[in-house]
Structure 1
């Protein structure tokens, strides 16, 4: 057994016992030097041992009781008892200094506890009956409050006094998220300050019903547009077939012409269906840092002699470079086709704000004639279009956890803004 394995109590006891033994040995040596008899030396040691042992015991009891008092005081504070106090006996300057520092700490702790309790009461008055799940953490991300709606979420546990990470929350750049609430919940994190006390507010709203309504609306639009497209293709084909069947004698040239038109319509419809099926085959993103300027440079092969493309902003982004390259191709292609070869100016901007990447593609073309249905699958205003381009773009962004915003510029051009999250792009692109 090495010295490091002995407790402090054992060392103190051993030190005091050693002191008594050494003192008695010295007394015996002195007696022997003075030629005392053995009986006299034993008598001397007997009378000296009592006061020495009493003094050693008093020293041990003083040390032990002082430590126990301080330990009991700290335990009471830790258990939240605010009415406990500790007197200073002034027998030890070190112990008194320790008690003084603990009292200062208790005062600060009591003030913080009172402030936290006031904040909790205020939060309960404000948020308890709101139909939005609200969870509040202190500056150390310890749970201090959750309203009634938050406790109805069975998928997560909320125990006051526990750290956010212990409850399954993820803290990233002062932003709080919960993986379980990422799909059918809209969550938001923000900071607040009350009486110089920092706190973090996390809110979550169940959007499952909204998502279902949105899906139903998309399905209705899809059926409407698909029916329109099929009707526009099949009605002329049926009319041409009826014309041939009504002829008494078939004119070979006329039949060939009709069948050629039917084939053209059929090929167009097949191409339309094949392009639409590409939207459902988008793979999961393979995230990596990439050179956005290089991807934009590759899209310039789509430009005509009268077209221009300018890029400003940060050069590096984070996401799936292959999917985002296809997104850029679709957007540039849409812009070029909107002017039928008359020449177009395309401006691309890229920047990062907070934790969001912003890619903006604008042009001076004709803009969106029906912006409400622009992202609807199969909807198109182009003669040879399939209505897939922006649907593909929106699907890629959705897989990146982002969203697509469409608008028309003041000069009647189109403005497409892509937003998707990134946790640390700014470190690379700065």
Structure 2
């Protein structure tokens, strides 16, 4: 600005300098010189005004646009205030990017909340409703515009806001009743507190899982029962048609005897199947105590009579478990391995080891390997003729009761299967060898 003012005053300064050096002109030249100085001064003043004042107007407009929330305006920087206008332009670009990111995040949050099955409510420090997703709207059975701003007690949610977090409660809402999991957390926005309330209908989830479990159970039960009833009905029809013949054939006694034998076998298989189901349903809680793992494995291996079972020496361990249940689980795994192994050259081995936080007991065979199915541990599912489908399901139930698990995988070195029963390391201790 200083240099601009100096430039405006330059004609007058030059005229004064000329008068000082050459003296004041005489006659009409005095008027001409003074007029020229005045015109040049006015022109320079106008030019300086346009160069200095207009950028100020531009800067003022940009700042007003920012104040109004309009970040799209930009100013030209080819002026005396170019650096300042550049800074304002960069600020506007940054604010525009931040607003775009905020709008995208808000859109993503709204879509996420809308897709949640859980009801989400946000209350301010006065416990007035400020945010609600569609699941919450369905739970309250009310239009969101009508309930926004209402207090928690007016919505019937005051007791849930006062209840401990992460608990399941029975509650009746206007839109639904049942058992719900309630979670809440404190919020803070703009220096003020608030409450986040999340309500999840666990009853509906459990009912859906129960329905799917019943469907799987009935599918397997129907398959197994039909496998027994179909030959029984067929043989009964055959015997009935045979008995209706006149006269009876000479070998009717033998036909009746073989037919009744088939009916008896299938009825016995069905009875064993239902008995296995009863044993699976009545499995008691494990009575845990310290048990020598090597002794337990050796005892289960000796009970297998179909083929010899090799027990590989391993680390001396005691397992804090129910010996009867773990022995039954090992018996089932070893029996499955022996039945899968070929009659000639059967190979069944049992070994154990500690690995990270688990104690693993592995039963290895040289059979064809496990079938490709996700239902191996589903009760009553079996791929063996005459099988009950109880063994692996019972093993898994026993393992999970001991906070462990079971898996059945294919051998990597050769054909065969590896059944692995594992217990958490907290349930086992190393024994000091004598």
Give TM-score scaled by structure 1 length. 0.48
Give TM-score scaled by structure 2 length. 0.48
